[in-house]
Structure 1
């Protein structure tokens, strides 16, 4: 009878250990799914923040470049009109054109860094 009692306790413990192992595996799978979902959400948030950062960087860079090009265009129009009339450009006007061209060139360089605008996606929910 004692042998039957001991074998019952051992069998109960084995069944309990097996049930506990299955429960632990289910929880592990659930945690892995939750962790992967969190990682995906964090990656989406990082991508969105990076895209927003570069969009915010692009605006002042493009604005400054367009302003410089516009200023250069106005000066070149004036210089072209002056030269068409047969007059010479004075030294100040020539220096202004050189300065504006250099400014436009210097402001063009960052455009290669910020690149073309990307589509802005919605933030992850």
Structure 2
């Protein structure tokens, strides 16, 4: 049996990404911190880890993989993530009735915030 243990995000500015992703997901870093790698884990213990790997890499668009983050209150979460440094991404092919908002973190790593409110499609 396999399970997802950690999702690894490459980054340039580890400290900035550490601040963003811990606040965005309400995760905590495993201590002690390394200078080029951080493992973030859910405070409540449930869910996959997110690791930040300070290895420069070329950004490719569209990305080959991205996170779908489920939100009970999508508009509030999108606003909160923007206040942390995320930005919305315009995609002209996004359907008008889409249940997701495309965003990117401060370094341009893309993710979607999906409406998971009771009764929503997610």
Higher RCO, Cα 8 Å, sep 6+: 1
Query: Based on CA coordinates, which of the two structures has the bigger radius of gyration?
Result: 1
TM class by shorter chain equals under 0.3
More strand as a share of residues:
2
More helix as a share of residues:
1
Normalising by structure 2, we get a TM-score of 0.22
